[in-house]
Amino acid sequence: MSDKKKFYITTPIYYPSDNFHIGHCYTTIIADAIARYKRLEGYDTFFLTGTDEHGQKIQKKAEDKGISPKEYVDVIVENAKDLWKSLGISYDKFIRTTDNEHVLAVQKIFKKLYDQGDIYKGEYKGLYCTPCESFWTESQLDENGNCPDCHREVHEVSEEAYFFKLSKYQKRLEEFLESNPDFIQPISRKNEMLNNFIKPGLEDLCVSRTSFDWGIPVTFDDKHVVYVWIDALSNYISALGYLSEDESLFKKYWPADLHIVGKEIVRFHTIIWPIMLMALDLPLPKQVFGHGWLIINGGKISKSLGNYKDPREYISLYGVDAVRYFVLREVPFGNDGNFSEEALINRTNADLANVLGNLVNRTIGMINKYFDGIVIDKKINEDIDTELINFVLSLKDKIEDNMNNLEISVALDSIFEVYRRCNKYIDETMPWILAKDESKKDRLATVLYNLIESIRIATVYLQAFLPDTAKKIFTQINTDKIDYDSASTFGLYSGGTKVNTPEVLFKRIEKE
Ligand SMILES: [Zn+2]
What is the 121 CA–ligand 1 centroid distance (Å)? Answer: 27
pLDDT of 301 > 80? The answer is: no
pLDDT category, 509, cuts 50, 70, 90? very high
105 alpha carbon – ligand 1 mean position (Å)? 34
How many whole angstroms from 460 Cα to the centroid of ligand 1? 55
- Crossing angle of helices 408-429 and 22-41, in 10° steps, is 70
CA 221 / ligand 1 centre spacing (Å): 28
Distance (Å, whole) CA 262 – CA 334: 9
Q: What is the pTM of this model?
A: 0.94
207 C-alpha to ligand 1 centroid (Å): 22
| Per-position DSSP letters for 371-424, written without gaps between them | HTTEE-------HHHHHHHHHHHTHHHHHHHHHHTT-HHHHHHHHHHHHHHHHH
Instruction: Give me ligand 1 centre to Cα 160, in Å.
Output: 21
Ligand 1 center from residue 63 Cα (angstroms): 16
330-387, pLDDT tens digit by residue? 888 878 888 889 999 999 999 999 999 999 999 999 999 999 999 999 999 999 999 9
Mean pLDDT throughout 226-248?
96
Cα 331 to ligand 1 centre (Å): 37
Distance 204 CA to ligand 1 centre (A): 27
212 alpha carbon – ligand 1 mean position (Å)? 15
pLDDT-based confidence at 298, cuts 50/70/90?
Answer: confident
Domain ranges of the chain: 341-498
Residue 155 CA to ligand 1 center (angstroms) comes to 11
226 C-alpha vs ligand 1 centroid, how far in Å? 23
Give 146 Cα–ligand 1 centroid separation in angstroms: 8
Q: Identify the pLDDT of residue 83.
A: 97
CA of 65 to the centre of ligand 1 (A): 18
Per residue in 19-39, pLDDT (tens digit) is: 898 889 999 999 999 999 999
* Mean pLDDT (whole number) for 402-424: 97
Q: How far is the CA of 141 from the centre of ligand 1 (A)?
A: 10
- Give the pLDDT of residue 149: 85
- Give the pLDDT mean for 258-284: 96
CA distance 231 to 224: 13
Q: Tell me the pLDDT band of 1, cut-offs 50, 70 and 90.
A: very low
Residue 147 C-alpha to ligand 1 middle, in angstroms?
A: 5
Q: How confident is the model at residue 307 (pLDDT cuts 50, 70, 90)?
A: low
| pLDDT: which is higher, 8 or 338 | 8
- Is the model more confident about 470 or about 210? 470
Residue 305 has pLDDT above 80, yes or no: no
Specify the DSSP class assigned to residue 55: S
Whole-number pLDDT of residue 459: 98
Q: Distance, CA 265 to ligand 1 centroid (Å)?
A: 25
DSSP result, 428-483:
HH-HHHHTT-GGGHHHHHHHHHHHHHHHHHHHHHHTTT-HHHHHHHHHHHT----S
Average of per-residue pLDDT across 126-139: 82
Superfamily (CATH H level) for 341-498: Isoleucyl-tRNA Synthetase; Domain 1 (1.10.730.10)
pLDDT digit string, tens, across residues 106-124: 999 999 999 999 999 999 8
| Sheet of strand 288-291: strand arrangement | 93-96, 44-51, 6-14, 258-262, 288-291, 184-185
Pick from 8, 266, 232, 241: nearest CA to 110: 232
154 C-alpha to center of ligand 1: Å? Answer: 7
Could you tell me the distance, in angstroms and rounded to a whole number, from the CA of residue 152 to the centre of ligand 1?
A: 6
pLDDT at 133: 74
For the chain, the average pLDDT equals 94
Expressed in angstroms and rounded, the spacing between residue 144 Cα and the centre of ligand 1 is 13
pLDDT 10s digits, 62-77: 999 999 999 999 999 9
**Distance from Cα 136 to the centre of ligand 1, integer Å:** 9
Of the given ranges (332-346, 382-396, 484-498), which has the lowest mean pLDDT? 332-346
